[in-house]
Amino acid sequence: MAEGDETEVRAANTGTLGKAMAVLELVALADRPLRFTEILARAGQPRATLHRQLGHLVEEGLLELNADLCYEPGLRMLKLASASWARSDLRRLAAPHLQALHELTGETVHLGVLRDAEIIYLDKVESRQAVRMASQVGKTSPAHCTGVGKAALSLLSAERLHRLFGGVELLGFTPTTITARDALEAELALIREVGHAFDREEHEAGIRCVAAAISDQQKTFVGGISVTGPAYRVGEDVLQAWAPLVRNAAAAISEEIAVRLGPRP
C-alpha cells in the first residue's frame, strides 16, 4: 500500500532490525547514559514496544542496563567492530603508505572513507602524543568541511552529490567552513582539477590539512588520506609543499586497490 514518494525515501525497509538499530544508535551516540523515559521521548515509539526492544538489545550485549536504570553501549559492538577493523583490506593495504607519509611530514596522517555525507576514519598515524591513540579511529566527521571529505566528494557524480546534500543544510563549524551549496561545488571542481583538497580550519579552528582521494577505477569506492597539523606549524606554503606527497600516496593506494580487484582478463 501507498508506494508514495519514489523520491529517495531515506527510511529503510529493514523491518524489525532497522528499528532496533535506530534505538541502538540513539543510545550509542548520546553523550551520556540514558534513562528509559529519555529514550522513549526521542525514539517516537510506544512504551511497551521500546521496552521490549531495549530488552532484546541488552540481552544481545549491544546495550547494557546499569544499576541506575540507565542504558549504555555494550561491549558486543566493540568486539564486532574490532574484528572487522582488523581485517579491513583497505586499511592493511594503506598502512605502509600512511606510515611513509608520516615520516616524510612529521605530522598526523589519516585514512578515511565516505559513508553517506560523513567521513569515517579508519586509521591514523601520529607522533607520540599525550592524546589517546585510538581516539580517532571510527570517528566520523562531516564530509563537506574536512580534507578527506572534500577530496572524496570531488569524485562523486553531480547526481550522487545532489542526493547526499539534497535537502540538508551545510553546517558551519568555523568562519571558514563552506556552507553555500554553490561554493562547495566550485571547491569540488577545483579539487577535481588539481587532485588534492585543503582544509583551512574549516572544521576545527587552528587545524589545517591537505588530502587526496582514493578510489578504484570505477569510482565505486571513495575514500581519502590526509596530513593534518596545527595552523601555527602548517602555513600555506607547507600545505602546498605537501600536496604532491599526499597525491602520490593516494594514487599509489588507488593503484594497489585496482591490482587487488584484479585485472579482469
Partner DNA sequence: CTAGCTTGTTCCATTATGTGGAACTTGGTT
Partner DNA sequence: AACCAAGTTCCACATAATGGAACAAGCTAG
Distance from chain centroid for Cα 235: 26
Question: Residue 109 to residues 63, 94, 129, 229: CA-CA distances in angstroms?
Answer: 33, 11, 14, 9
Q: Which is nearer to DNA, 16 or 84 (CB)?
A: 16
User: For residues 262 and 247, what is the distance between their CA atoms, to the nearest angstrom?
Assistant: 23
Residues 33-72 touching DNA, rule: CB under 7 A, are 35-37, 40, 45-49, 51-53, 69
The site partner of 73 among a copy of itself, DNA, none (C-beta below 5 to 8 Å per kind) is a copy of itself
- 45, 140, 174, 179: residue in contact with a copy of itself (rule CB under 8 A): 140
The β-bridge relationship of strands 70-73 and 63-65 is: antiparallel
Q: Does residue 4 bind a copy of itself (CB under 8 A)? A: no
One DSSP character per residue, 72-90 reads EE-HHHHHHHHHHHHT-HH
Q: Which stretch binds a copy of itself (CB under 8 A): 20-28, 170-178, 199-207, 234-242?
A: 20-28
Query: In the complex, what is the shortest distance from the CB of residue 155 to a copy of itself, in angstroms, rounded to a whole number?
Result: 17
User: For residues 219 and 229, what is the distance between their CA atoms, to the nearest angstrom?
Assistant: 28
Amino acid at 194: V
Q: Which stretch binds a copy of itself (CB under 8 A): 126-134, 189-197, 231-239, 244-252?
A: 126-134
User: For residues 110 and 137, what is the distance between their CA atoms, to the nearest angstrom?
Assistant: 9
Q: Does residue 132 bind a copy of itself (CB under 8 A)? A: yes
Q: Does residue 265 bind DNA (CB under 7 A)? A: no
Phi, psi of 191 (to 5 degrees): -60, -45
User: For residues 222 and 155, what is the distance between their CA atoms, to the nearest angstrom?
Assistant: 8
Q: Does residue 104 bind a copy of itself (CB under 8 A)? A: no
Q: Which stretch binds a copy of itself (CB under 8 A): 61-69, 169-177, 198-206, 224-232?
A: 61-69
Residue 199 CB coordination number (10 Å): 25
Q: Does residue 69 bind a copy of itself (CB under 8 A)? A: no
Q: Which is nearer to DNA, 49 or 240 (CB)?
A: 49
User: For residues 69 and 209, what is the distance between their CA atoms, to the nearest angstrom?
Assistant: 43
Best CA proximity match to 249, nearest among 207, 203, 213: 213
Residues 34-53 touching a copy of itself, rule: CB under 8 A, are 53
Q: Does residue 158 bind a copy of itself (CB under 8 A)? A: no
What does the binding site for DNA look like in residue numbers (CB under 7 A)?
15-17, 19, 35-37, 40, 45-49, 51-53, 69
What does the binding site for a copy of itself look like in residue numbers (CB under 8 A)?
12-18, 20-21, 24-25, 28-29, 31-32, 53, 56-57, 59-62, 67, 72-88, 95, 113, 115, 120, 122-123, 128, 132-135, 137-140, 220, 261
